[in-house]
Chain A
Amino acid sequence: SQQGEEDPQALSIQEGENATMNCSYKTSINNLQWYRQNSGRGLVHLILIRSNEREKHSGRLRVTLDTSKKSSSLLITASRAADTASYFCATAFYGNNRLAFGKGNQVVVIP
């Protein structure tokens, strides 16, 4: 099954720095979504970008989508300790009533 794949897998940064994560996928998508998971908890939806969009912002989050390269990036600006979490990209494919998740990207923000 097609899945999003995040890169890098783990990231450790100082508070105030920016964190960037990438996600690649293999086939045409309807949309791509990013989720956050705090340790041992459920996932929380962060942002959705449709296949005809190239960039989207939500607070300190910026998502880009390059359908020609089949990749997306999530940028968290001015990171905070509370941003420490795992981040997952998920892709929704045409004609497929499900989300396919990547393996996740662990981000640690050091105060």
Chain B
Amino acid sequence: DVKVTQSSRYLVKRTGEKVFLECVQDMDHENMFWYRQDPGLGLRLIYFSYDVKMKEKGDIPEGYSVSREKKERFSLILESASTNQTSMYLCASSLRGTGFPEAFFGQGTRLTVV
């Protein structure tokens, strides 16, 4: 079974802190994604990566950066956490194919910024 593991289920951070959310997948997938999920807004794409050291901005990249130094690991970085970044963060991975294949999700990290 494909496994996507996010480093924390729950996280509480202070405003202004630098926050790292880690995601690891074990199926050699090329694509990795970070979404945030907020009530009434669905899932919104923050950043994605289709290869090591490659990244592309999603729909809401402001205030975030990412790092992909190894194929299996994709990190989301909040440079200076703010209260409006309190949210559920979801990592996903998928194979890269001619059609867009199914995505596999981690269990989510619920981040609270106080």
Q: A98-B33, A98-B58 are in contact. Are A41 and B100 (CB under 8 A)?
A: no
Across-interface contacts of A62 in B (CB, < 8 A): none
Nearest CB in chain B to that of A3: its residue: B42
A7 to chain B, nearest CB (A): 13
Once the chains bind, are B103 and A45 in contact (CB under 8 Å)?
yes
Instruction: Please choose the segment from B14-22, B72-80, B105-113 that sits at the chain A interface, where 4 or more of its residues have CB less than 8 A away.
Output: B105-113
Render A1-45 as a binary contact track against B, CB cut-off 8 A, 1 for contact.
101000000000000000000000000001101010000111111
Q: A43-B90, A103-B41, A104-B42 are in contact. Are A97 and B102 (CB under 8 A)?
A: no
- By the criterion of a CB under 8 Å from any partner CB, how many residues of chain B are at the interface? 30
Interface residues on A, range: 20 to 34
Across-interface contacts of B105 in A (CB, < 8 A): 35, 42-44
Once the chains bind, are A40 and B108 in contact (CB under 8 Å)?
yes
Once the chains bind, are B42 and A31 in contact (CB under 8 Å)?
no
B31 near A: Cβ within 8 Å?
A: yes
Q: How many angstroms between the C-alpha atoms of A26 and B41 in the bound complex?
A: 17
Q: A98-B48, A104-B42 are in contact. Are A31 and B100 (CB under 8 A)?
A: yes
User: Which of A40, A41, A97 has its CB near the most chain B CB atoms (within 10 A)?
Assistant: A97
Across-interface contacts of B102 in A (CB, < 8 A): 33, 45, 48
* 8 A Cβ contacts from A51-102 to B: 88, 90, 92, 97-102
Residues of A with Cβ closer than 8 Å to B?
1, 3, 30-31, 33, 35, 40-45, 48, 50, 88, 90, 92, 97-104
9 nearest A-B residue pairs (beta carbon): A92-B100, A42-B105, A103-B42, A101-B43, A45-B102, A43-B105, A42-B107, A30-B99, A42-B108
Please name 19 further chain A to chain B contacts, defined as beta carbons within 8 Å, in addition to the given A43-B105, A97-B100, sorted by A numbering: A30-B99, A33-B102, A42-B105, A42-B107, A43-B43, A43-B103, A45-B102, A45-B103, A45-B104, A90-B103, A92-B99, A97-B48, A97-B50, A97-B56, A98-B58, A99-B45, A101-B42, A101-B44, A102-B42
